[in-house]
């Protein structure tokens, strides 16, 4: 019996090559994209799972009030916190601190690099985190000062094929240099805190309360320890024993290591994190695509089955019981779905590199290493096959054999209406998906152009280290000899990054009133080069001594409740300084456009530049860049010259933070194409069913145009009904999307939905036009004879 089923299945497949191909291809594409998203999903969920007992590792976060009243949580703590906690609480098995410097120059002989991934830490780091030592000291490679542990890639970069162990690296932060004590494997891509080099903290550093900045504290709890219970003890401990934290009103809490990647968007940190909202959006749209693909599969399957009603009748007459037929047809559907699987795997391999590029790289997507994903994909495939087969199987097998055999062409009305329902659902779903995609594109476009209170145009940005502070005046003078260069500035930050958060208060108020404020240190010309407008007072200038000056935003002035801020003094508690307000800047939005706008201050600190900004008249050309490079190499030969354009970097960062949305667009378009394929199949099926009607109409004088209209209008109606049904859902989803995620919101208006409707109509028309014209152009005699 089984071989009989297989033969019939195979011969039908061959007989209906086009349908079978479209059906298998559609499902394969859907499954391939689903596999991509699933492996991407699992990759994102797998962050830091490679450590030993990762669920026992926690980050200590600090939380305190900020000027605008909101509690602000950061991933940074003070260096001594790790030791204090591990000594006090027996639940903590081990603790480590990690400081990350922003940028350092490290060299070996003539090889010199900016290192952005150096972690300063203690010997516990390699005990808590799992980075296997592949060469050198396997026990305690960080136990001595100035020891450096390199990743394999970093070791290769400096030493090529030489043995790196025992070699001395020069570094701008260490007068005695760094001795390479060990080499570890490269950080897996699913790490929140990647590094190229780990360097031992200087001795005694662990007791230094003065160093907050970018210090992370990680704890590894004892097996079975309750993190919540432990956290609840922190408060009284800090109150009694840690006056520094108590006075700053800082509360410590624990954050699971495994949650950092996806759930710490609101925590100020330098970790490799992803917006879980975007991440779930992608998963949602992939599921949407899967539903569209499954509907498509069902539509095509039911079309195929209707042509087989006669076979059902004959089989029944020959003695087949209903269950035999149900089994046969469900089996065929499942087999067809299974055929899509190898093709889906091939497509997955094919589009994987493009997908990885679209999500910004640094992603490892491997289905074969992911048995759970493999199982889900197989289950989904079987499910689609089963569900697609179930209705036609039960429907067809319910016919009285007499009615099927006597009427050569079965009516198949039930299947046709089912198909219409399926097509309406499919188009309604794609309408919602396309509308959401257009909305997100509009939102992105709006965010890339929105005015944030400063200007980024024509600014060449060159990263540097503090060494530049001594050379800046000379560099500025040299660069200004070129008339194309309008202005040169020293900057501590890029204007679209998290700033520092510093505790500050108005002079005359107690330390209790100190609040955390985003603060941006800068050098000369920073405010002017970004064209930040002053509402009152002045910007920093060489004409004044601004070493003790500060500029606050209008928002900050409002929060400080200052009607007339100029001349008032602000105490910067973390720095132990008092600064005078010399200007109030019109509101500017410095954290990236996707983050919320907060009150901010800019203070003058020319000794610590991380960037030099060079503003040109008009877009910078190659000659200007070469000029800047030549001057840079002349003035600061010890600093590598590397540059980018500020605006490009802004757009790049926007793209990076919203890169998942490109995947969203891609999936929506695929969905629309597959929905159109389903419509194409339905149109062919209907044209076939109506061959006789078309023949009669033509014999009675209908023109090809009349017939084309007849066929097209029916389908356009289906699509319009689908669009109307989808409209309220699309509207509410759009409102929801705009409101949950963004600070700057694009407006949800009717044009969005009109474009979406136009899109679905064009897709539908292109799918059915060919078939309609083909049927309409046929000779009526052929149509009548056919019947």
Partner 1 sequence: MIRTVNLKKLYTTEEVETTALDSVNIDIKEKEFVAIMGPSGCGKSTLLNLLGMLDNPSEGEYYFLNEEVSKYTERQRANIRKRNIGFVFQSFNLIDELTVFENVELPLLYLGVSASERKKIVEEVLERMQIMHRRDHFPQQLSGGQQQRVAVSRAVVAKPALILADEPTGNLDSANGEEVMSILTQLNEGGTTIIMVTHSPHDSEFAHRIIHLFDGHVVTENYKEKFHV
Helices (H), 399-532: 401-406, 413-449, 468-479, 526-529
- Binding-residue pattern over the window 394 to 423 for partner 1, x denoting contact by CB under 8 A: ------xxxx-xx-x---------------
622-635 vs 468-479: helix axis angle to the nearest 10?
A: 140
Stretch that binds partner 1, among 2-10, 45-53, 289-297, 331-339 (CB under 8 A): 2-10
Smallest gap from Cβ 397 to partner 1, in A, equals 9
- Which CB sits closer to partner 1, 311 or 370? 311
Closer residue to partner 1 (CB): 4 or 656: 4
Pick 16 or 651: Cβ nearer partner 1: 16
322 is a site residue for partner 1 (CB under 8 A): yes
Site for partner 1 (CB under 8 A): which residue of 99, 316, 442, 456?
A: 316
40 or 395: CB nearest partner 1: 395
458 neighbors 533 (Cβ within 8 angstroms): no
What residue spans of 197-275 are helical by DSSP H?
Answer: 227-241, 243-247, 260-263
Cα–Cα distance between 228 and 254 in angstroms, integer?
Answer: 8
Query: Candidates 169-177, 284-292, 312-320, 487-495 — which segment interacts with partner 1 by CB under 8 A?
Result: 312-320
Rule CB under 8 A: is residue 4 a binding residue for partner 1? Answer: yes
Report how far apart, in Å, the C-alpha atoms of 442 and of each of 54, 276, 438, 450, 673 are.
40, 21, 6, 12, 21
Strands 174-184 and 147-151: parallel
Cα 615 from chain centre: 31
Neighbour-count burial of 451, counting CB atoms closer than 10 A to its CB (0-12 exposed, 13-18 middle, 19+ buried)? exposed
Task: Indicate whether 304 belongs to the interface with partner 1 (CB under 8 A).
Answer: no
CB of 442 to partner 1, least distance (A): 50
Q: Which is nearer to partner 1, 533 or 785 (CB)?
A: 785
- Compare residues 409 and 480 and give the one whose CB is closer to partner 1: 409
Which of the ranges 4-12, 642-650, 661-669, 674-682 carries the binding residues for partner 1, by CB under 8 A?
4-12
Choice between 168 and 321, CB closer to partner 1? 321
Of 69, 132, 223, 319, the residue at the interface with partner 1 (CB under 8 A) is 319
DSSP 336-378: HHHHHHHHHHHHHHHHHHHHHHHTTS-----STT-HHHHHHHH
Which residue, 226 or 787, has its beta carbon nearer to partner 1? 787
Q: Select 322 or 568, whichever has its Cβ closest to partner 1.
A: 322
Cα 412 to Cα 20: distance, rounded to the nearest angstrom: 20
Taking the complex as a whole, how short is the minimal distance between the CB of residue 391 and partner 1, in angstroms?
Answer: 19
Q: Does 306 bind partner 1 (CB under 8 A)?
A: no
> Does 6 help bind partner 1 (rule: CB under 8 A)?
no
Nearer to partner 1, 15 or 52 (CB): 15
How does DSSP assign 708-750, residue by residue?
HHHHHHHHHHHHHHHHHHHHHHHHHHHHHHHHHH-SS-----H
- Shortest approach of partner 1 to residue 401 CB, angstroms? 5
Minimum CB separation of residue 694 from partner 1 in Å reads 24
Q: Print the SS3 string covering 458-487.
A: CEEEEECCCCHHHHHHHHHHHHCCCCCEEE
Rank residues 207 and 403 by Cβ distance to partner 1 and give the closer one: 403
Task: Based on the shown chain and the rule CB under 8 A, indicate whether residue 313 belongs to the binding site for partner 1.
Answer: yes
Looking at the Cβ atoms of 316 and 579, the one nearer to partner 1 is 316
Length of the chain: 787
Nearer to partner 1, 151 or 307 (CB): 307
Q: How far is CA 272 from CA 52, 54, 194, 649, in A?
A: 20, 17, 8, 18
Number of residues counted as binding partner 1 (CB under 8 A):
27
Kindly state whether residue 18 participates in binding partner 1, applying the rule CB under 8 A.
no
Tokens of 720: 């319009």
Q: Does residue number 196 form part of the binding site for partner 1 (CB under 8 A)?
A: no
User: Of 157-165, 306-314, 496-504, 660-668, which part binds partner 1 (CB under 8 A)?
Assistant: 306-314
Q: State the nearest-atom distance from the C-beta of 192 to partner 1, in Å.
A: 58
In angstroms, the CA 780 to CA 783 distance is 5
Quick check: 623 and 487 in contact, CB under 8 A?
no
Closest approach of Cβ 777 to partner 1, in Å?
27
CB of 411 to partner 1, least distance (A): 12
Complete DSSP assignment for 6-42: HHHHHHHHHHTHHHHHHHHHHHHHHHHHHHHHHHHHH
Site for partner 1 in 451-490 (CB under 8 A): none
In the complex with partner 1, which residue's Cβ is closer, 1 or 700? 1
Is 785 a binding residue for partner 1 by CB under 8 A? The answer is no
Q: Could you tell me which residues are beta bridge partners of residue 519?
A: 601
Return the DSSP state at 177: E
DSSP, collapsed to helix, strand or coil, labels residue 218 as strand
User: In terms of CB distance, is 7 or 634 closer to partner 1?
Assistant: 7
Shortest separation between residue 405's beta carbon and partner 1, angstroms = 6
Mask for 726-755, x = binds partner 1 (CB under 8 A) = ------------------------------
Smallest separation, CB 1 to partner 1 (Å): 5
Closest approach of partner 1 to the CB of residue 400, in Å: 5
DSSP notation for 47-111: TTTTSSSGGGEEEEEEEEEBTTS-EEEES---TTHHHHHHHH-TTEEEEEEEEE-S-EEEEETTE
CB of 384 to partner 1, least distance (A): 24
If we measure between CA atoms, which residue out of 619, 622, 628 comes closest to residue 647? 619
Residue 339: φ, ψ to 5°: -65, -25
Residue 705's contacts (CB-CB under 8 Å, 6 or more residues apart) are 776
Region binding partner 1 by CB under 8 A among candidate stretches 229-237, 319-327, 511-519, 708-716: 319-327
For residue 772, the SS3 value is helix
State in angstroms the smallest separation of the CB of 313 from partner 1.
Answer: 7
Closest by CA position to 711, among listed 687, 732, 693: 687
Query: What gap in Å lies between CA 568 and CA 573, rounded to an integer?
Result: 16
**Least distance CB 307 / partner 1 (angstroms):** 10
Contact between 321 and partner 1 by CB under 8 A: the answer reads yes
Q: Does 310 bind partner 1 (CB under 8 A)?
A: yes
Among 304, 315, 352, 631, binds partner 1 (CB under 8 A): 315
The residue from 6, 15, 349, 699 that contacts partner 1 (CB under 8 A) is 15
Q: Is 1 in the site for partner 1 (CB under 8 A)?
A: yes
Our finding on whether 335 is near partner 1 (CB under 8 A) is no
CB of 399 to partner 1, least distance (A): 10
Please state the closest distance from residue 316 (CB atom) to partner 1, in A.
7
570: left (phi over 0), alpha (psi -120 to 50) or beta: beta
Closest among 496, 501, 505, 491 to 588, alpha carbons compared? 496
Q: Which stretch binds partner 1 (CB under 8 A): 308-316, 510-518, 547-555, 772-780?
A: 308-316
The nearer residue to partner 1, 234 or 399, going by C-beta atoms, is: 399
Q: In the set 324, 473, 554, 577, which binds partner 1 (CB under 8 A)?
A: 324
Residue with tokens 């596999």: 35
* d(C-alpha 117, C-alpha 101), whole Å: 8
Which spans of this chain sit near partner 1 (rule: CB under 8 A)?
1, 4, 7-8, 11-12, 15, 310-311, 313-322, 324, 400-403, 405-406, 408
């Amino acid at each position: 019996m089984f071989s009989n089923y297989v033969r019939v299945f195979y011969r039908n497949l061959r007989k209906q090559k086009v349908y079978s191909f479209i059906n298998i291809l559609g499902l394969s594409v859907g499954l391939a994209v689903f596999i991509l998203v699933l492996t991407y999903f699992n990759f994102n969920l797998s962050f830091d799972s490679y450590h030993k007992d990762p669920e026992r590792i926690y980050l200590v976060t600090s939380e305190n009030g900020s000027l605008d009243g909101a509690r602000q949580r950061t991933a940074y703590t003070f260096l001594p916190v790790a030791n204090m906690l591990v000594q006090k609480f027996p639940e903590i098995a081990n603790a480590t601190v990690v400081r990350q410097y922003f940028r350092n120059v490290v060299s070996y002989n003539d090889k010199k690099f900016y290192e952005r991934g150096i972690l300063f830490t203690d010997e516990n780091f390699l005990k808590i985190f799992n980075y296997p030592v592949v060469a050198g000291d396997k026990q305690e490679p960080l136990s001595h000062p100035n020891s450096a542990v390199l990743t394999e890639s970093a070791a290769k970069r400096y030493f090529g094929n030489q043995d790196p162990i025992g070699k001395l690296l020069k570094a701008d932060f260490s007068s005695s240099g760094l001795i390479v004590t060990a080499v570890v494997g490269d950080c897996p891509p699913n790490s929140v805190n990647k590094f190229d080099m780990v360097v031992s903290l200087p001795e005694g550093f662990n007791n230094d309360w003065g160093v907050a900045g970018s210090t992370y504290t990680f704890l590894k709890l004892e097996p079975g320890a309750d993190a919540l219970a432990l956290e609840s003890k922190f408060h009284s401990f800090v109150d009694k024993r840690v006056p520094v934290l108590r006075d700053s009103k800082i509360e410590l809490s624990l954050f699971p290591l495994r949650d950092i990647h996806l759930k710490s968007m609101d925590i100020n940190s330098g970790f490799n994190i992803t917006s879980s909202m975007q991440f779930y959006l992608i998963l949602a749209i992939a599921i949407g695509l899967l539903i569209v693909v499954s509907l498509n599969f069902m539509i095509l399957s039911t079309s195929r089955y209707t042509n087989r009603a006669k076979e059902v009748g004959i089989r029944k007459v020959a003695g087949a019981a209903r269950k035999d037929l149900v089994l046969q047809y469900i089996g065929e559907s499942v087999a067809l779905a299974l055929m899509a699987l190898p093709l889906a795997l091939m497509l997955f391999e094919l589009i994987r590199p493009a997908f990885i590029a679209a999500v910004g790289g640094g992603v490892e997507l491997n289905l074969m290493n992911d048995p759970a994903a493999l199982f889900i994909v197989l289950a989904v495939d079987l499910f689609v096959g089963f569900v697609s087969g179930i209705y036609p199987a039960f429907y067809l097998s319910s016919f009285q054999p007499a009615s099927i055999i006597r009427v050569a062409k079965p009516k198949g009305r039930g299947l046709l209406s089912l198909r219409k329902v399926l097509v309406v659902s499919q188009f309604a779903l794609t309408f919602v998906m396309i509308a959401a995609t257009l909305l997100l594109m509009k939102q992105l476009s709006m965010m890339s152009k929105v005015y944030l209170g400063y200007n980024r145009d024509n600014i060449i940005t060159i990263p540097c280290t503090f060494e530049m502070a001594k050379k800046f005046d000379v560099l500025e003078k040299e660069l200004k000899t070129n008339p194309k260069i309008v202005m040169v500035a020293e900057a501590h930050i890029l204007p679209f990054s998290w700033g520092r958060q510093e505790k500050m208060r108005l002079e005359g108020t107690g330390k209790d009133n100190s609040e955390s404020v985003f603060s941006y240190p800068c050098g000369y010309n920073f405010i002017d080069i970004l064209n930040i407008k002053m509402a009152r007072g002045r910007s920093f200038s060489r004409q004044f001594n601004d070493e003790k000056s500060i500029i606050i935003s209008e928002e900050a002035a409002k929060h400080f409740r200052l009607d007339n801020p100029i001349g008032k003094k602000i105490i910067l508690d973390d720095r132990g300084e008092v600064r005078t307000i010399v200007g109030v800047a019109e509101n500017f939005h410095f954290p990236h456009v996707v983050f919320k706008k907060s009150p901010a201050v800019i203070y003058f600190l020319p000794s610590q530049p991380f960037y030099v900004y060079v503003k040109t008249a008009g877009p910078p050309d190659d000659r200007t860049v070469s000029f800047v490079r030549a001057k840079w190499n002349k003035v600061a030969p010890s600093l590598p010259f590397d540059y980018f354009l500020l605006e490009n970097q802004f757009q790049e960062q926007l793209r990076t933070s919203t890169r998942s949305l490109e995947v969203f667009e891609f999936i929506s378009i695929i969905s629309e194409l597959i929905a159109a394929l389903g419509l194409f199949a339905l149109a062919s099926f209907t044209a076939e069913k109506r061959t006789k009607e078309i023949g009669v109409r033509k014999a009675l004088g209908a023109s090809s145009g009349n017939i084309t209209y007849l066929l097209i209008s029916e389908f356009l109606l289906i699509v319009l009904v689908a669009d109307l049904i989808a409209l309220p859902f699309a509207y509410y989803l759009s409102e929801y999307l705009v409101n949950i995620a963004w600070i700057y919101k694009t407006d949800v208006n009717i044009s969005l939905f009109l474009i979406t409707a136009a899109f679905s109509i064009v897709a539908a028309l292109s799918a059915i036009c060919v078939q309609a014209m083909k049927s309409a152009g046929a000779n009526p005699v052929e149509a009548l004879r056919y019947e």
